[in-house]
Amino acid sequence: LTSGLESAWNKLKGEEVLTKENIVEPMRDIRRALLEADVSLPVVRRFIQDVSDQAVGTALIRGVRPDQQLVKIVSDELVKLMGGEVSELVFSKTKPTVILLAGLQGVGKTTVSAKLALYLKKLGKSCMLIAGDVYRPAAIEQLVILGERVVGVPVYVAGTDVKPAEIARQGLAEAKKKNVEVVIMDTAGRLQIDKAMMDELKDVKKVLNPTEVLLVVDAMTGQEAAALVTSFNVEIGITGAILTKLDGDSRGGAALSVKEVSGKPIKLVGRGERMEDLEPFYPDRMAGRILGMGDVLSFVEKAKEVMQQEEAEDLQKKIMSAKFDFNDFLKQTRAVAQMGSMSRVIGMIPGMGKVSPAQIREAEKNVQLMESMIEVMTPEEREKPELLAESPERRKRIARESGKTEQQVSQLIAQIFQMRARMKKLMGIMEGGSLPTMSN
Ligand code: GDP
Ligand code: MG
Protein backbone atom coordinates (compact mmCIF):
# COMPACT_ATOMS: atom_id res chain seq x y z
CA LEU A 1 0.00 0.00 0.00
CA THR A 2 1.16 3.50 -0.67
CA SER A 3 1.18 5.60 2.45
CA GLY A 4 -1.82 7.57 1.24
CA LEU A 5 -3.96 4.53 0.75
CA GLU A 6 -2.73 2.97 3.92
CA SER A 7 -3.86 5.89 6.02
CA ALA A 8 -7.25 5.84 4.34
CA TRP A 9 -7.64 2.16 5.07
CA ASN A 10 -6.45 2.65 8.61
CA LYS A 11 -9.12 5.22 9.25
CA LEU A 12 -11.69 2.63 8.30
CA LYS A 13 -10.44 0.01 10.66
CA GLY A 14 -12.53 0.94 13.66
CA GLU A 15 -15.75 1.05 11.68
CA GLU A 16 -18.39 -1.62 11.75
CA VAL A 17 -19.94 -1.07 8.36
CA LEU A 18 -19.13 0.65 5.11
CA THR A 19 -21.26 3.74 4.83
CA LYS A 20 -21.56 6.57 2.38
CA GLU A 21 -19.71 8.70 4.90
CA ASN A 22 -16.85 6.52 5.99
CA ILE A 23 -15.79 5.52 2.49
CA VAL A 24 -15.53 9.11 1.30
CA GLU A 25 -11.94 9.50 2.34
CA PRO A 26 -10.64 6.11 1.26
CA MET A 27 -12.39 6.54 -2.08
CA ARG A 28 -10.78 9.94 -2.47
CA ASP A 29 -7.42 8.27 -1.99
CA ILE A 30 -8.27 5.60 -4.50
CA ARG A 31 -9.29 8.28 -6.94
CA ARG A 32 -5.96 9.98 -6.44
CA ALA A 33 -4.09 6.71 -6.87
CA LEU A 34 -5.89 6.04 -10.13
CA LEU A 35 -5.20 9.49 -11.49
CA GLU A 36 -1.56 9.21 -10.45
CA ALA A 37 -1.40 5.91 -12.28
CA ASP A 38 -2.56 7.82 -15.33
CA VAL A 39 -6.01 6.35 -15.68
CA SER A 40 -8.17 8.67 -17.74
CA LEU A 41 -10.50 10.93 -15.81
CA PRO A 42 -13.84 9.70 -17.21
CA VAL A 43 -12.81 6.14 -16.40
CA VAL A 44 -11.82 7.17 -12.89
CA ARG A 45 -15.09 9.00 -12.33
CA ARG A 46 -17.20 6.09 -13.43
CA PHE A 47 -15.09 3.68 -11.47
CA ILE A 48 -15.31 5.62 -8.22
CA GLN A 49 -19.05 5.98 -8.62
CA ASP A 50 -19.57 2.28 -9.30
CA VAL A 51 -17.36 1.11 -6.48
CA SER A 52 -18.86 3.53 -3.99
CA ASP A 53 -22.38 2.42 -4.83
CA GLN A 54 -21.38 -1.17 -4.53
CA ALA A 55 -19.44 -0.74 -1.32
CA VAL A 56 -22.27 0.98 0.50
CA GLY A 57 -24.77 -1.57 -0.68
CA THR A 58 -22.70 -4.54 0.42
CA ALA A 59 -23.46 -6.28 3.66
CA LEU A 60 -20.29 -6.63 5.62
CA ILE A 61 -19.13 -10.16 5.99
CA ARG A 62 -18.89 -10.98 9.64
CA GLY A 63 -15.34 -11.06 10.86
CA VAL A 64 -14.04 -9.11 7.88
CA ARG A 65 -12.62 -5.71 8.59
CA PRO A 66 -14.26 -2.96 6.53
CA ASP A 67 -10.93 -1.88 5.11
CA GLN A 68 -10.26 -5.38 3.86
CA GLN A 69 -13.64 -5.56 2.33
CA LEU A 70 -13.20 -2.24 0.57
CA VAL A 71 -9.82 -3.35 -0.76
CA LYS A 72 -11.47 -6.45 -2.09
CA ILE A 73 -14.28 -4.54 -3.74
CA VAL A 74 -11.91 -2.02 -5.31
CA SER A 75 -9.50 -4.63 -6.61
CA ASP A 76 -12.29 -6.89 -7.88
CA GLU A 77 -13.77 -3.99 -9.80
CA LEU A 78 -10.41 -3.01 -11.25
CA VAL A 79 -9.89 -6.57 -12.36
CA LYS A 80 -13.34 -6.66 -13.94
CA LEU A 81 -12.65 -3.42 -15.74
CA MET A 82 -9.54 -4.94 -17.26
CA GLY A 83 -11.40 -7.92 -18.60
CA GLY A 84 -11.33 -10.18 -15.57
CA GLU A 85 -9.48 -13.20 -16.83
CA VAL A 86 -6.28 -13.57 -18.79
CA SER A 87 -7.11 -13.04 -22.45
CA GLU A 88 -5.35 -15.86 -24.28
CA LEU A 89 -3.75 -15.65 -27.70
CA VAL A 90 -5.92 -17.27 -30.34
CA PHE A 91 -4.46 -19.89 -32.64
CA SER A 92 -6.00 -20.74 -35.97
CA LYS A 93 -7.16 -24.27 -36.68
CA THR A 94 -5.20 -24.40 -39.90
CA LYS A 95 -1.50 -23.66 -40.08
CA PRO A 96 -0.13 -21.09 -39.82
CA THR A 97 -1.55 -18.83 -37.15
CA VAL A 98 -0.68 -15.33 -38.32
CA ILE A 99 0.06 -12.55 -35.86
CA LEU A 100 0.36 -9.02 -37.16
CA LEU A 101 2.01 -6.46 -34.92
CA ALA A 102 1.28 -2.78 -35.27
CA GLY A 103 2.06 0.35 -33.31
CA LEU A 104 3.83 3.66 -33.22
CA GLN A 105 7.58 4.00 -33.57
CA GLY A 106 9.75 3.02 -30.65
CA VAL A 107 7.05 1.32 -28.63
CA GLY A 108 8.77 -2.04 -28.84
CA LYS A 109 7.26 -3.82 -31.86
CA THR A 110 10.49 -5.33 -33.11
CA THR A 111 11.48 -6.38 -29.62
CA VAL A 112 8.03 -7.87 -29.04
CA SER A 113 8.19 -9.77 -32.36
CA ALA A 114 11.26 -11.64 -31.18
CA LYS A 115 9.98 -11.99 -27.61
CA LEU A 116 6.73 -13.43 -28.87
CA ALA A 117 8.60 -15.92 -31.03
CA LEU A 118 10.49 -17.08 -27.95
CA TYR A 119 7.30 -17.18 -25.91
CA LEU A 120 5.60 -19.37 -28.50
CA LYS A 121 8.68 -21.49 -29.01
CA LYS A 122 8.55 -22.28 -25.30
CA LEU A 123 4.94 -23.35 -25.79
CA GLY A 124 6.28 -25.81 -28.32
CA LYS A 125 5.19 -23.95 -31.43
CA SER A 126 7.39 -23.48 -34.45
CA CYS A 127 7.64 -19.85 -35.51
CA MET A 128 8.80 -17.64 -38.27
CA LEU A 129 9.26 -13.88 -38.28
CA ILE A 130 8.67 -11.51 -41.16
CA ALA A 131 10.64 -8.26 -41.23
CA GLY A 132 8.18 -5.65 -42.43
CA ASP A 133 9.81 -2.37 -41.46
CA VAL A 134 11.09 -1.24 -44.83
CA TYR A 135 11.94 2.26 -43.71
CA ARG A 136 14.79 1.44 -41.42
CA PRO A 137 17.41 -1.06 -42.56
CA ALA A 138 18.58 -1.08 -38.97
CA ALA A 139 15.16 -2.39 -37.91
CA ILE A 140 15.51 -5.38 -40.24
CA GLU A 141 19.00 -6.00 -38.94
CA GLN A 142 17.67 -5.76 -35.38
CA LEU A 143 14.97 -8.37 -36.04
CA VAL A 144 17.40 -10.73 -37.75
CA ILE A 145 19.80 -10.53 -34.84
CA LEU A 146 17.12 -10.99 -32.19
CA GLY A 147 15.17 -13.61 -34.12
CA GLU A 148 17.89 -15.76 -35.62
CA ARG A 149 20.77 -15.34 -33.22
CA VAL A 150 19.06 -14.79 -29.88
CA VAL A 151 15.78 -16.66 -30.13
CA GLY A 152 16.66 -19.08 -32.88
CA VAL A 153 13.76 -18.75 -35.27
CA PRO A 154 13.93 -18.02 -39.03
CA VAL A 155 13.39 -14.42 -40.12
CA TYR A 156 12.04 -13.65 -43.56
CA VAL A 157 13.72 -10.62 -45.12
CA ALA A 158 12.78 -9.19 -48.52
CA GLY A 159 14.73 -5.96 -48.49
CA THR A 160 13.80 -2.33 -48.26
CA ASP A 161 12.60 -1.71 -51.79
CA VAL A 162 9.63 -4.08 -51.53
CA LYS A 163 6.20 -2.93 -50.35
CA PRO A 164 5.15 -4.28 -46.96
CA ALA A 165 2.07 -5.98 -48.44
CA GLU A 166 4.30 -7.80 -50.91
CA ILE A 167 6.69 -8.79 -48.13
CA ALA A 168 3.71 -10.14 -46.24
CA ARG A 169 2.64 -12.22 -49.24
CA GLN A 170 6.11 -13.67 -49.77
CA GLY A 171 6.65 -14.24 -46.08
CA LEU A 172 3.35 -16.05 -45.65
CA ALA A 173 4.13 -18.29 -48.63
CA GLU A 174 7.51 -19.07 -47.10
CA ALA A 175 5.89 -19.87 -43.76
CA LYS A 176 3.49 -22.29 -45.44
CA LYS A 177 6.36 -23.91 -47.30
CA LYS A 178 8.28 -24.27 -44.04
CA ASN A 179 5.10 -25.59 -42.41
CA VAL A 180 5.59 -23.40 -39.33
CA GLU A 181 2.78 -23.09 -36.83
CA VAL A 182 2.96 -19.38 -36.14
CA VAL A 183 4.17 -16.53 -38.27
CA ILE A 184 4.70 -13.10 -36.74
CA MET A 185 5.03 -9.97 -38.83
CA ASP A 186 6.84 -6.90 -37.56
CA THR A 187 5.82 -3.62 -39.18
CA ALA A 188 7.02 -0.04 -39.38
CA GLY A 189 5.72 2.53 -36.97
CA ARG A 190 5.47 6.29 -37.19
CA LEU A 191 5.85 8.89 -34.52
CA GLN A 192 2.16 9.62 -34.79
CA ILE A 193 -0.84 8.05 -36.40
CA ASP A 194 -0.90 8.97 -40.07
CA LYS A 195 -2.85 7.84 -43.08
CA ALA A 196 0.13 6.30 -44.89
CA MET A 197 0.83 4.00 -41.96
CA MET A 198 -2.79 2.97 -41.60
CA ASP A 199 -3.13 2.30 -45.33
CA GLU A 200 -0.01 0.22 -45.29
CA LEU A 201 -1.29 -1.80 -42.36
CA LYS A 202 -4.64 -2.30 -44.05
CA ASP A 203 -2.91 -3.64 -47.16
CA VAL A 204 -0.77 -5.98 -45.10
CA LYS A 205 -3.77 -7.16 -43.14
CA LYS A 206 -5.66 -7.93 -46.34
CA VAL A 207 -2.82 -10.12 -47.55
CA LEU A 208 -2.19 -11.91 -44.27
CA ASN A 209 -5.75 -12.42 -43.04
CA PRO A 210 -4.23 -12.59 -39.55
CA THR A 211 -5.60 -14.52 -36.60
CA GLU A 212 -4.37 -11.83 -34.25
CA VAL A 213 -3.73 -8.16 -34.91
CA LEU A 214 -1.99 -6.88 -31.82
CA LEU A 215 -1.32 -3.25 -31.18
CA VAL A 216 1.89 -2.69 -29.28
CA VAL A 217 1.54 0.17 -26.82
CA ASP A 218 4.14 1.76 -24.61
CA ALA A 219 2.86 1.82 -21.02
CA MET A 220 4.43 5.23 -20.58
CA THR A 221 1.89 6.60 -23.05
CA GLY A 222 -0.49 6.75 -20.12
CA GLN A 223 -3.97 8.00 -20.85
CA GLU A 224 -3.16 8.34 -24.53
CA ALA A 225 -2.99 4.57 -24.80
CA ALA A 226 -6.75 4.13 -24.74
CA ALA A 227 -7.28 6.63 -27.55
CA LEU A 228 -4.50 5.03 -29.53
CA VAL A 229 -5.95 1.56 -29.22
CA THR A 230 -9.35 2.88 -30.19
CA SER A 231 -7.99 4.62 -33.31
CA PHE A 232 -6.12 1.58 -34.51
CA ASN A 233 -9.13 -0.57 -33.83
CA VAL A 234 -11.44 1.67 -35.79
CA GLU A 235 -8.97 2.04 -38.67
CA ILE A 236 -7.62 -1.45 -39.15
CA GLY A 237 -9.44 -3.64 -36.67
CA ILE A 238 -7.34 -5.21 -33.93
CA THR A 239 -7.84 -8.22 -31.70
CA GLY A 240 -5.94 -6.95 -28.69
CA ALA A 241 -3.00 -5.04 -27.34
CA ILE A 242 0.44 -5.68 -25.92
CA LEU A 243 1.59 -3.26 -23.26
CA THR A 244 5.36 -2.76 -23.19
CA LYS A 245 7.89 -1.16 -20.87
CA LEU A 246 5.98 -1.98 -17.74
CA ASP A 247 9.36 -2.24 -16.04
CA GLY A 248 9.56 1.55 -16.29
CA ASP A 249 8.10 4.20 -14.03
CA SER A 250 4.61 3.84 -15.37
CA ARG A 251 2.03 2.70 -12.88
CA GLY A 252 0.12 1.03 -15.66
CA GLY A 253 -3.02 3.13 -15.70
CA ALA A 254 -2.94 2.72 -19.45
CA ALA A 255 -3.95 -0.87 -18.95
CA LEU A 256 -7.09 0.11 -17.13
CA SER A 257 -8.27 2.54 -19.76
CA VAL A 258 -7.46 0.38 -22.78
CA LYS A 259 -10.07 -2.31 -22.22
CA GLU A 260 -12.64 0.08 -20.86
CA VAL A 261 -12.37 2.58 -23.71
CA SER A 262 -11.58 0.41 -26.73
CA GLY A 263 -13.26 -2.83 -25.69
CA LYS A 264 -10.10 -4.69 -26.70
CA PRO A 265 -8.18 -6.78 -24.20
CA ILE A 266 -4.53 -6.51 -23.36
CA LYS A 267 -3.15 -9.94 -24.08
CA LEU A 268 0.51 -9.66 -23.18
CA VAL A 269 2.85 -7.35 -21.35
CA GLY A 270 6.52 -6.61 -21.82
CA ARG A 271 8.41 -5.86 -18.67
CA GLY A 272 12.02 -5.56 -19.73
CA GLU A 273 14.50 -5.59 -22.58
CA ARG A 274 15.42 -9.24 -22.29
CA MET A 275 13.77 -11.70 -24.65
CA GLU A 276 12.23 -13.53 -21.69
CA ASP A 277 10.44 -10.41 -20.49
CA LEU A 278 7.07 -11.05 -22.08
CA GLU A 279 4.18 -12.57 -20.22
CA PRO A 280 0.40 -12.88 -20.26
CA PHE A 281 -1.48 -9.89 -18.94
CA TYR A 282 -2.88 -10.69 -15.50
CA PRO A 283 -5.62 -8.20 -14.61
CA ASP A 284 -5.32 -8.94 -10.89
CA ARG A 285 -1.61 -8.16 -10.80
CA MET A 286 -2.19 -5.00 -12.76
CA ALA A 287 -4.88 -3.94 -10.31
CA GLY A 288 -2.28 -4.15 -7.58
CA ARG A 289 0.18 -2.09 -9.54
CA ILE A 290 -2.34 0.60 -10.36
CA LEU A 291 -3.42 0.93 -6.76
CA GLY A 292 0.18 0.95 -5.72
CA MET A 293 -0.39 -1.98 -3.44
CA GLY A 294 2.30 -4.21 -4.79
CA ASP A 295 0.71 -7.54 -5.36
CA VAL A 296 -2.89 -6.99 -4.37
CA LEU A 297 -3.66 -10.56 -5.17
CA SER A 298 -1.52 -11.92 -2.42
CA PHE A 299 -2.70 -9.15 -0.15
CA VAL A 300 -6.32 -10.03 -0.66
CA GLU A 301 -5.54 -13.70 -0.32
CA LYS A 302 -3.81 -12.97 2.93
CA ALA A 303 -6.72 -10.79 3.98
CA LYS A 304 -9.02 -13.69 3.24
CA GLU A 305 -6.96 -15.96 5.43
CA VAL A 306 -6.99 -13.43 8.21
CA MET A 307 -10.67 -12.98 7.61
CA GLN A 308 -11.36 -16.67 8.07
CA GLN A 309 -9.18 -16.67 11.11
CA GLU A 310 -11.12 -13.72 12.49
CA GLU A 311 -14.42 -15.30 11.61
CA ALA A 312 -13.45 -18.36 13.51
CA GLU A 313 -12.18 -16.42 16.49
CA ASP A 314 -15.24 -14.27 16.50
CA LEU A 315 -17.53 -17.21 16.45
CA GLN A 316 -15.51 -18.93 19.08
CA LYS A 317 -15.72 -15.90 21.33
CA LYS A 318 -19.43 -15.83 20.83
CA ILE A 319 -19.76 -19.44 21.72
CA MET A 320 -17.65 -19.01 24.82
CA SER A 321 -19.47 -15.99 26.12
CA ALA A 322 -22.91 -17.22 25.19
CA LYS A 323 -25.32 -18.18 27.87
CA PHE A 324 -26.71 -20.08 25.05
CA ASP A 325 -30.28 -19.03 25.14
CA PHE A 326 -32.51 -19.05 22.09
CA ASN A 327 -31.49 -15.48 21.18
CA ASP A 328 -27.86 -16.50 20.93
CA PHE A 329 -28.93 -19.50 19.02
CA LEU A 330 -30.82 -17.40 16.47
CA LYS A 331 -28.02 -14.87 16.21
CA GLN A 332 -25.53 -17.60 15.60
CA THR A 333 -27.48 -19.49 13.05
CA ARG A 334 -28.22 -16.28 11.20
CA ALA A 335 -24.59 -15.26 11.30
CA VAL A 336 -23.74 -18.67 9.99
CA ALA A 337 -26.26 -18.32 7.18
CA GLN A 338 -24.86 -14.89 6.38
CA MET A 339 -21.36 -16.20 6.25
CA GLY A 340 -22.35 -18.65 3.60
CA SER A 341 -21.95 -22.32 3.65
CA MET A 342 -22.40 -23.90 6.99
CA SER A 343 -19.76 -26.44 6.14
CA ARG A 344 -17.12 -23.75 5.92
CA VAL A 345 -18.05 -22.36 9.30
CA ILE A 346 -18.39 -25.67 11.02
CA GLY A 347 -14.97 -26.53 9.67
CA MET A 348 -13.62 -23.43 11.36
CA ILE A 349 -14.95 -24.17 14.79
CA PRO A 350 -12.16 -25.78 16.71
CA GLY A 351 -13.02 -29.19 17.98
CA MET A 352 -15.83 -29.73 15.50
CA GLY A 353 -13.80 -31.90 13.20
CA LYS A 354 -14.92 -33.18 9.85
CA VAL A 355 -18.57 -33.07 8.92
CA SER A 356 -20.07 -34.85 5.93
CA PRO A 357 -22.16 -33.00 3.32
CA ALA A 358 -25.19 -35.06 4.29
CA GLN A 359 -24.75 -34.06 7.92
CA ILE A 360 -24.52 -30.43 6.87
CA ARG A 361 -27.70 -30.59 4.79
CA GLU A 362 -29.41 -32.19 7.74
CA ALA A 363 -28.08 -29.46 10.03
CA GLU A 364 -29.30 -26.74 7.72
CA LYS A 365 -32.77 -28.24 7.61
CA ASN A 366 -32.74 -28.46 11.36
CA VAL A 367 -31.81 -24.82 11.67
CA GLN A 368 -34.86 -23.80 9.66
CA LEU A 369 -37.07 -25.97 11.77
CA MET A 370 -35.70 -24.52 14.97
CA GLU A 371 -35.95 -20.98 13.72
CA SER A 372 -39.62 -21.31 12.98
CA MET A 373 -40.22 -22.38 16.58
CA ILE A 374 -37.97 -19.77 18.14
CA GLU A 375 -39.70 -17.04 16.17
CA VAL A 376 -42.96 -17.55 18.02
CA MET A 377 -41.39 -17.54 21.49
CA THR A 378 -41.79 -14.54 23.76
CA PRO A 379 -38.59 -12.61 24.60
CA GLU A 380 -38.69 -14.11 28.07
CA GLU A 381 -38.98 -17.62 26.75
CA ARG A 382 -36.06 -17.05 24.45
CA GLU A 383 -33.88 -15.95 27.31
CA LYS A 384 -34.96 -18.64 29.70
CA PRO A 385 -35.37 -22.00 28.05
CA GLU A 386 -36.20 -23.28 31.57
CA LEU A 387 -39.63 -21.66 31.29
CA LEU A 388 -40.41 -23.91 28.40
CA ALA A 389 -38.94 -26.93 30.03
CA GLU A 390 -41.27 -26.38 32.98
CA SER A 391 -44.50 -25.51 31.18
CA PRO A 392 -46.44 -27.89 28.89
CA GLU A 393 -48.84 -24.99 28.10
CA ARG A 394 -46.09 -22.88 26.68
CA ARG A 395 -44.79 -25.79 24.62
CA LYS A 396 -48.30 -26.43 23.27
CA ARG A 397 -48.68 -22.78 22.31
CA ILE A 398 -45.37 -22.75 20.48
CA ALA A 399 -46.25 -25.92 18.61
CA ARG A 400 -49.57 -24.43 17.58
CA GLU A 401 -48.20 -21.07 16.48
CA SER A 402 -45.23 -22.47 14.59
CA GLY A 403 -47.18 -25.29 13.00
CA LYS A 404 -44.86 -27.90 14.45
CA THR A 405 -45.60 -30.83 16.70
CA GLU A 406 -45.24 -30.72 20.47
CA GLN A 407 -42.66 -33.42 20.14
CA GLN A 408 -40.58 -31.19 17.89
CA VAL A 409 -40.82 -28.38 20.43
CA SER A 410 -39.69 -30.68 23.20
CA GLN A 411 -36.80 -31.83 21.06
CA LEU A 412 -35.72 -28.24 20.49
CA ILE A 413 -35.74 -27.55 24.21
CA ALA A 414 -33.76 -30.68 24.91
CA GLN A 415 -31.34 -29.60 22.23
CA ILE A 416 -30.53 -26.24 23.73
CA PHE A 417 -29.70 -27.86 27.04
CA GLN A 418 -27.55 -30.39 25.24
CA MET A 419 -25.85 -27.58 23.39
CA ARG A 420 -25.07 -25.74 26.56
CA ALA A 421 -23.49 -28.86 27.93
CA ARG A 422 -21.50 -29.41 24.76
CA MET A 423 -20.28 -25.82 24.63
CA LYS A 424 -19.19 -26.08 28.21
CA LYS A 425 -17.20 -29.18 27.42
CA LEU A 426 -15.77 -27.65 24.25
CA MET A 427 -14.70 -24.64 26.22
CA GLY A 428 -13.01 -26.88 28.67
CA ILE A 429 -10.99 -28.38 25.86
CA MET A 430 -10.11 -25.03 24.36
CA GLU A 431 -9.22 -23.39 27.63
CA GLY A 432 -7.06 -26.29 28.61
CA GLY A 433 -9.50 -27.32 31.27
CA SER A 434 -9.80 -23.99 33.06
CA LEU A 435 -13.49 -23.41 32.79
CA PRO A 436 -14.81 -19.92 33.23
CA THR A 437 -18.13 -19.97 35.02
CA MET A 438 -21.15 -20.18 32.84
CA SER A 439 -24.54 -18.90 33.75
CA ASN A 440 -26.24 -22.14 33.21
P1 GDP B 1 9.77 -0.43 -32.38
O2 GDP B 1 10.21 0.83 -32.99
O3 GDP B 1 8.32 -0.40 -32.01
O4 GDP B 1 10.11 -1.63 -33.18
O5 GDP B 1 10.53 -0.56 -30.99
P6 GDP B 1 11.79 -1.44 -30.63
O7 GDP B 1 11.42 -2.87 -30.52
O8 GDP B 1 12.92 -1.12 -31.54
O9 GDP B 1 12.09 -0.93 -29.16
C10 GDP B 1 12.48 0.40 -28.88
C11 GDP B 1 13.29 0.44 -27.61
O12 GDP B 1 12.50 0.05 -26.50
C13 GDP B 1 14.46 -0.53 -27.65
O14 GDP B 1 15.57 0.10 -27.07
C15 GDP B 1 13.99 -1.69 -26.77
O16 GDP B 1 15.06 -2.34 -26.15
C17 GDP B 1 13.12 -0.98 -25.79
N18 GDP B 1 12.09 -1.86 -25.22
C19 GDP B 1 11.18 -2.62 -25.86
N20 GDP B 1 10.39 -3.26 -25.00
C21 GDP B 1 10.80 -2.92 -23.77
C22 GDP B 1 10.37 -3.25 -22.45
O23 GDP B 1 9.40 -4.01 -22.19
N24 GDP B 1 11.06 -2.68 -21.43
C25 GDP B 1 12.08 -1.84 -21.65
N26 GDP B 1 12.71 -1.32 -20.58
N27 GDP B 1 12.51 -1.51 -22.86
C28 GDP B 1 11.89 -2.03 -23.92
MG1 MG C 1 10.86 -1.76 -35.06
Task: Tell me which of 44-48, 193-197, 314-318 is least confident.
Answer: 314-318
Residue 438 clears pLDDT 50, i.e. is over it:
no
**pLDDT confidence of residue 275:** 92
Answer whether residue 389 shows pLDDT above 60. yes
Whether ligand 1 lies within 6 angstroms of the CB of 107 is answered as yes
Structure confidence by residue, pLDDT tens digits, 113-161:
999 999 999 999 999 999 999 888 788 999 999 999 999 999 999 978 8
CB 336 within 8 A of CB 349: no
Residue 111 CA, ligand 1 centroid: distance in Å = 6
pLDDT tens profile 248-303: 767 677 888 888 888 899 999 998 889 999 999 999 888 877 776 544 444 445 44
> Given this model, what pLDDT does residue 416 score?
83
Q: What is the DSSP string of 84-134?
A: SS--PPP--SSSPEEEEEE--TTSSHHHHHHHHHHHHHHTT--EEEEEE--
CATH tag, 322-430: 1.10.260.30
Long-range contacts of 70-74 (CB under 8 A, 24+ apart): 70/9, 70/12, 70/18, 70/23, 70/26, 71/9, 71/293, 71/296, 71/299, 71/300, 71/303, 72/300, 72/303, 74/30, 74/291
Q: What pLDDT is recorded for position 7?
A: 57
At 347 the pLDDT is 46
Q: Is 273 in the pocket of ligand 1 (CB under 6 A)?
A: yes
Supply the pLDDT for residue 243: 93
Mutate to test the pocket of ligand 1, among 273, 276, 279 (most ligand atoms within 8 A of CB): 273
Is there an atom of ligand 1 within 6 Å of 406 CB?
no
Q: What are the extents of the domains in the chain?
A: 3-84+296-300, 97-281, 322-430
> Average pLDDT for residues 41-56, to the nearest whole number?
88
Task: Please report, rounded to a whole number, the percentage of residues in the chain having pLDDT higher than 90.
Answer: 40
**Range from 65-79, 307-321, 342-356 that averages highest in pLDDT:** 65-79
- Compute the mean pLDDT over every residue in the chain, rounded to the nearest whole number: 81
Which of 104, 111, 228, 275 to probe ligand 1 with, by most ligand atoms within 8 A of CB?
111
Is pLDDT larger for residue 48 or for residue 56?
A: 48
Q: Is the CB of 132 under 6 A from ligand 1?
A: no
Is there an atom of ligand 1 within 6 Å of 111 CB?
Answer: yes
Q: Which atom of ligand 1 is nearest to the CA of 278?
A: 23
Q: Confidence band (pLDDT; 50, 70, 90) for 74?
A: confident
245: CA distance to ligand 1 center in Å? 7
Question: Is residue 279 lining ligand 1, measured as CB closer than 6 Å?
Answer: no
Q: How many whole angstroms from 409 Cα to the centroid of ligand 1?
A: 76
The burial of 207, by beta-carbon neighbours within 10 Å (0-12 exposed, 13-18 middle, 19 or more buried), is given as buried
The ipTM (two decimal places) reads 0.99
Quote the ligand 1 centre to 219 CA distance (angstroms): 11
Question: If you average pLDDT over residues 166-174, what whole number do you get?
Answer: 97
pLDDT surpassing 50 at residue 177: yes
The CATH code of the domain at 3-84+296-300 is: 1.20.120.140
| pLDDT > 70? residue 342 | no
pLDDT at 346 over 80: no
Atom of ligand 1 nearest to the CA of 113: 7
**What is the Å distance from ligand 1's center to 107 Cα?**
6
**According to the model, what pLDDT value does residue 352 have?**
45
CB 245 near ligand 1, within 6 Å: yes
Burial class (CB in 10 A: 0-12, 13-18, 19+), 57: exposed
Domain 97-281 classified CATH 1.10.357.10?
A: no
